Structure 1
């Protein structure tokens, strides 16, 4: 026991020294060990966190890949189904169009458009066209002939007027005229006209008849007197001769002008009068007493002043006693040439189509 106590007392001193030394060493290396521990902990925690984040990312990618694949396959099935349906509809429509085309063509060729009737119609139309063209050519030739005739008559009248005006240039027995020069082999045409023409007289200059020949020079009357145009009045006025001819021009009204403008209204009034005379009684029809709606009389058959006919006193009034004439005024305008040809054909030939 004493030995044990001695050993313990000896070791206690050594133990204190050892503890003090170890504590001193620990204090000297505490900061370095703390830094090392922080580094180890940070590396471990970082590695663990990164691993966890990597694991979460892998799980998220797996979930997203699975879901996107499922949705893609679903949409693909829907799109393929729609495309197949569209292709089938297009195919069915194309087949229906083909069937309808053949059927409509067959029906039209058999019932609507007859080929042989159409052929006969075109042949008849060609014949009609040839007839119309021939008649139009004849009409054009006739117009050309009439135009040439009018030009020739106008030229002849002008030459006759010139011959009558220059009648004093006629050759005599003593003196040859300018149109019968001895240097000519034959006399001029005007020489023969001068022999036939009658000289103009200078009497009754203001006398004008309907047969006055209008040329570039002064006109000539039946008595052979020269008629000069009136002197032009200063301002926008026409000569008196032209105004007189326009005033005495006969009226040639067309079918549209000669028809009364109010003929339709007059016929309507006559028809209303006939209907009124054929009525059995003038008492308005009253409905049964059991009806729910109240009978409303017409405006022009009943008023607070008594039974009055329409258009005499309280509505639009027309006092015919104040009219100057019984006949309505008719508008008179210049005739339209196309209405004068109403009912006339443009060609004489005709072809009957069977």
Structure 2
């Protein structure tokens, strides 16, 4: 019994092996047929593409030939029309020339040759031209004189302002001011009679340079620029500050810059990003767009918000002066204590 069972198992194994071999052979045949079919399809697609290219080239050549024919016929028509128009112009010109000559003769006899009738008018025109020319000459001379006067006044004011400038650097060869009075001259003026009225400003002629040619200042006296004494230099150094607001900028520069930034903010999209609370503890920045909401403007952009300003906002506000300049904020001082800062 066991012999028959073993023999049956052997037959079953042989049958399974034969079946697997058949399947493998069938799979191999299927693969070869698939590859052959792919090659045939590729070849057929190439053939179809070549046929389409041939048809396309034939169609394009036909269209180009037709367009060349149309263009050539159009050019021929234009040339023929131009020839016709030129022929008509010559024909009409022969008829129009006598009429033009007749009209020119009539017009010249009527207006140009009528000199005596227009003689009074021509004399009046000449007189008016002379008056206008003289007036323009006077105005030109007046403008030149005004320009010279402005230049002279500007130079005079510049000389005055430059003369009183403070110099903290020692100048070689100018130990004292030759224009101001010396101590002896000032004392002599005080000893004079009181009823004599002295002018406010005494302008004395400059002495000759020979007076100071061989002059050498003593060693104990330092040279302090254009000032006469050391005390005057110290007085100028310790003079209280006088901050000025004379700047070369406009009085409303801040308002104009703010308005310009406001107009360009919608282009640059300079917006503060909104933060939305998510499931996590941290808040992430929201990637906003032009049509999104912002913290400053929660509404969408529309016709009323893009570059919209009323007429009252366009008017320039009146600003009397620039805001106070915080000059001593870094030192913790004020303008009242400015004399203590300079030592």
Q: Larger Cα Rg: Structure 1 or Structure 2? A: 1
**Of the two structures, which has the highest relative contact order with CA contacts closer than 8 Å and spacing of 6 or more?**
1
TM-score clears 0.5? no
Query: TM-score normalized by structure 2?
Result: 0.28
Query: TM-score normalized by structure 1?
Result: 0.28
